[in-house]
Amino acid sequence: MIDFSKLGGGQTYDTALPPREIFQALPKISQQKYQYPRDVQSQVWQKWFDIRNTENLVIKMNTGGGKTIVGLLTLKSCLNEKIAPAVYVVPDNYLVEQVINEADEIGIKTTKDETCPSFLSGKSILVINIHKLVNGRSKFGVGDDGIKINIGSIIIDDAHACINTVEDQFTIKINNGSEAYKELMTLFTPSLKKTKF
Q: Beta 125-129 vs 110-111: how paired, if at all? A: parallel
The pTM for the full model equals 0.82
Task: Render pLDDT for 120-170 as a digit per residue (tens, 0 to 9).
Answer: 999 999 999 999 998 777 788 765 666 788 999 999 998 889 999 888 888
Looking at residue 5, what is its pLDDT? 46
Task: Render pLDDT for 51-110 as a digit per residue (tens, 0 to 9).
Answer: 999 989 999 888 888 899 999 999 999 999 999 999 999 999 999 999 999 999 999 999
Report the C-alpha gap between 81 and 184 in whole angstroms. 50
Which residues contact residue 195 at a Cβ distance below 8 angstroms, ignoring those fewer than 6 apart? Answer: none
Looking at residue 72, what is its pLDDT? 96
- Taking alpha carbons only, the member of 155, 77, 91, 156 closest to residue 122 is 77
Task: Render pLDDT for 3-45 as a digit per residue (tens, 0 to 9).
Answer: 544 445 566 878 889 999 999 888 776 667 777 888 999 999 9
Report the C-alpha gap between 8 and 188 in whole angstroms. 68
Which residues contact residue 109 at a Cβ distance below 8 angstroms, ignoring those fewer than 6 apart? Answer: 103, 118, 123, 124, 125
Looking at residue 6, what is its pLDDT? 47
Which residues contact residue 59 at a Cβ distance below 8 angstroms, ignoring those fewer than 6 apart? Answer: 44, 48, 67, 70, 74
Q: Largest Cα–Cα distance of the chain, in whole Å? A: 90
Report the C-alpha gap between 106 and 28 in whole angstroms. 4
- Considering Cα of 91, then 159, then 113, then 24, what sign does the dihedral take? positive
Query: DSSP states of 43-109 as a string?
Result: HHHHHHHHTTTSSS------TTS-HHHHHHHHHHHHHHTT---EEEEESSHHHHHHHHHHHHHHT--
Residue 88 φ/ψ, nearest 5 degrees: -110, 115
CB 128 within 8 A of CB 165: no
Burial of 146 per CB tally in 10 Å (0-12, 13-18, 19+): exposed
Looking at residue 118, what is its pLDDT? 96
- Taking alpha carbons only, the member of 68, 55, 79 closest to residue 157 is 68
